[in-house]
Structure 1
Amino acid sequence: MKRMMTPPSDDSDVSDQRHPMKSRCAGGQGGDSPGMDPKKWITFKDLHDQVTQLLSTKLNPCNIKQCKSKLDILNKCSYYLEVMRQDTLHQPDPQQQQNYLSNSTILHLIDPWKFQRMKKLGHSQVQIQLSLLEELYEQFCKGKVEMEAIASQSDYGDQEVAHINGRIAHLIKAFTDFDSTLMPGELHTKHRLISETGNAKVPQIHLRLSVKMPVMFDTSRSEALTDCARLHWEMAGQEQQEPGEQFEIRYKLLQPTNTEEGNQLGTVTCNSYCIQVNNLLPQRCYEFTVKRADACCLVYGLWNDTMVLRTMPLSPGGFTGSQEKRRRLFPW
């Protein structure tokens, strides 16, 4: 019996036929870099990984949305000038306490003209910081689109590599700047704000900006009846305790039809988180705004929350909302 002999086969040819990507990139790493120089492939792969990592971390939609939320809140915050005593970290001896002045006294001793000048400086600083945050946020949005386009490319030229590395570094720094700008800084003055007063020891002081969260209406609890509105508000992101400050509520009738209705407006000040506004017209729309009452240390606080409520119509018996409720409880 004759044995059938098969001609010898070239293993490399068979391998190349089974893995065409490998045959296109001689010396490549397991076919990972088709048609590309190994060094160039490593550079491409490393840069591509950096881009995708940036897109999945700092430039992911959730993180950018959080940056937008922080920016919106900061635009609605109130900013105040705060007087800080440098000696408060070291409590004076009991015998020397009589020589020290309280913070409220120090505030009254500051030269009014210099204090107003520092308030203007604080106002400008807040405006600059908010503008910078707006600009950084726009860079995040544009950077996300740019990085997505780069991630979809299959090759980077030599000049593109340098440009992409620069853009990645720029975006990372932008996020660092965004976080650092969220914290207001100190205000530096070249001259003393107060001078020595007799035997009392006047401590060294410095000024800084403090931030209070915005005041916002609680729309779930606020309501309008026939002739009044019950308004509730809160400070964003804070547990509600005793406010320790005053709030200013303004109201006005929308689209008045005569002079008398045009007088349906007013301003009320209170030191709680709720108020009832009376003597409103039935079945009409009123605009309400709430804000912190202006203080002498306020340097920036342009925003106030606004809400529109429509009062209820009179009941069939001609009673207002409160009268109708009382009539039902006490019909006699």
Structure 2
Amino acid sequence: MNEVKLARTNSDECRVQEVKTQKDTLLDLCNQILRLLNTRLSDKSILVLQEELRFMQRCSYYLEIQREDLLPTVDQNQQTLHLSDSMVWSLIDQQKLQRTMTQANTQVRLLLALLGMLYEEIIRGCQELEAFIVEYYQGLVDSDMAASMQQKLQKTHQYMSDFQNRLTRNLGPLDLQNRLIPNTCNFPLPHLSASLTIKMPVIFDRFKSCVSSNTAYLFWDVVDEQSKEPTQQFEIHGRSLHPTIPEHGQLTVTTSQSYNIQVNNLTPDMHYQFSVKRVDAVNLVYGLWIDTIILKTLDISK
């Protein structure tokens, strides 16, 4: 009889210990989730992720060709062959170059699609983790739900790491399956490699840009640019907009090497739409973003 009572007591103690262990494990899981929600998945952090994704989608991507047979120099540009150079252009096989440009465009589109998918998975994970915490406080969580949420927590951490690892300003080398310069000469040809580089979006400065009755003063910047590049060229489009019907005035196109421009001879009390982007280069493989601003000239009759 005493043995039966002792066995029952031991069994009860095991169940109590098991329940305590489950509660401790569940509490630890909830604390891990709360730390993540309050740090890397806070509202501010999510906005940062959203902005990083938007900037990557708005960047311009370029193909750069480098000579591998030259020793490294202080100025890395000395090793870069610019496709706009007439000599380089004459040596490169145009069909192979076009295939390389297509390959680079595909790589950029895949990167942006992957970043978009990772961002959506992060947001979905954040929502599910938040819902789990609510159910935990309501006492609706069981061991199966906890195990599932532990996996969700690990996957969300992995998605965030993958997202950050993909945010790079240099997309690395491309695999050149064929030589861009055909070996039809009797002298040694340069060994070339190709890579993708990124330029950040061009965006109007909406605090500085303004109008008078017949003049628009437009200012723009490049996101995260530490110093203005003197060699950059920008293309500015402008057209008048009818205030009540969808009529557009004649399109004007202007180029500028500075980061501002003055547009004269505008009509008072009229809406104008302006857009700005970099002048397209021959090595541009992807760049859809064009910033647009609408301004209304002052009414001089008032």
User: TM-score, normalised to structure 2's length?
Assistant: 0.81
Aligned pairs, how many? 277
Contact 2:209 2:216 (8 Å CA) reproduced: yes
The question of 1:103 aligning with 2:81 is answered yes
Q: Distance in 2 between matches of 1:300 and 1:243?
A: 22
Partner SS state of residue 37, structure 1: helix
Structure 1 stretch displaced more, 196-205 or 291-300: 196-205
- In the alignment, which residue of structure 1 is the partner of 2:4? none
The question of 1:287 aligning with 2:273 is answered yes
Contact 1:226 1:311 (8 Å CA) reproduced: yes
**1:137 and 1:131, CA in 2 relative to 1: closer, same or farther beyond 3 A?**
same
Contact 1:59 1:144 (8 Å CA) reproduced: yes
Residue in structure 2 matching 1:301, options 283, 287, 293: 287
Contact 2:101 2:285 (8 Å CA) reproduced: yes
- In the alignment, which residue of structure 2 is the partner of 1:124? 106
Structure 1 stretch displaced more, 212-221 or 191-200: 191-200
**1:88 and 1:107, CA in 2 relative to 1: closer, same or farther beyond 3 A?**
farther
Residue in structure 2 matching 1:166, options 114, 132, 151: 151
Q: Distance in 1 between matches of 2:143 and 2:258?
A: 64
Partner SS state of residue 258, structure 2: coil
- In the alignment, which residue of structure 2 is the partner of 1:215? 202
Q: Distance in 1 between matches of 2:178 and 2:196?
A: 18
How far off is 1:262 after superposition? 5.7
Task: After TM superposition, list the pairs within 5 Å mapping 1:176-215 onto structure 2.
Answer: 176-183=161-168, 184-196=171-183, 198=185, 201-215=188-202
Q: Distance in 2 between matches of 1:173 and 1:276?
A: 49
Structure 1 stretch displaced more, 147-156 or 305-314: 147-156
Paired amino acid for 1:175 = M
Contact 1:233 1:274 (8 Å CA) reproduced: yes
Contact 1:248 1:267 (8 Å CA) reproduced: yes
- In the alignment, which residue of structure 1 is the partner of 2:123? 141
Q: Distance in 2 between matches of 1:256 and 1:109?
A: 53
How far off is 1:35 after superposition? 9.7
Percentage of pairs with the same residue:
36
- In the alignment, which residue of structure 2 is the partner of 1:41? 23
Contact 1:283 1:312 (8 Å CA) reproduced: yes
Contact 1:216 1:234 (8 Å CA) reproduced: yes
How far off is 1:84 after superposition? 2.3
Q: Distance in 1 between matches of 2:255 and 2:57?
A: 23
How far off is 1:89 after superposition? 4.5
Q: Distance in 2 between matches of 1:243 and 1:166?
A: 51
Q: Distance in 1 between matches of 2:215 and 2:149?
A: 61
Partner SS state of residue 299, structure 2: coil
How far off is 1:27 after superposition? 5.7
**1:142 and 1:309, CA in 2 relative to 1: closer, same or farther beyond 3 A?**
same
Residue in structure 1 matching 2:49, options 67, 71, 79: 67
**1:87 and 1:77, CA in 2 relative to 1: closer, same or farther beyond 3 A?**
same
How far off is 1:192 after superposition? 1.3
Cα RMSD (Å) of the superposition?
Answer: 2.9
User: TM-score, normalised to structure 1's length?
Assistant: 0.74
Partner SS state of residue 66, structure 1: helix
Residue in structure 2 matching 1:312, options 291, 298, 302: 298
How far off is 1:201 after superposition? 3.6
User: Which is greater in Rg?
Assistant: 1
Contact 1:242 1:272 (8 Å CA) reproduced: no
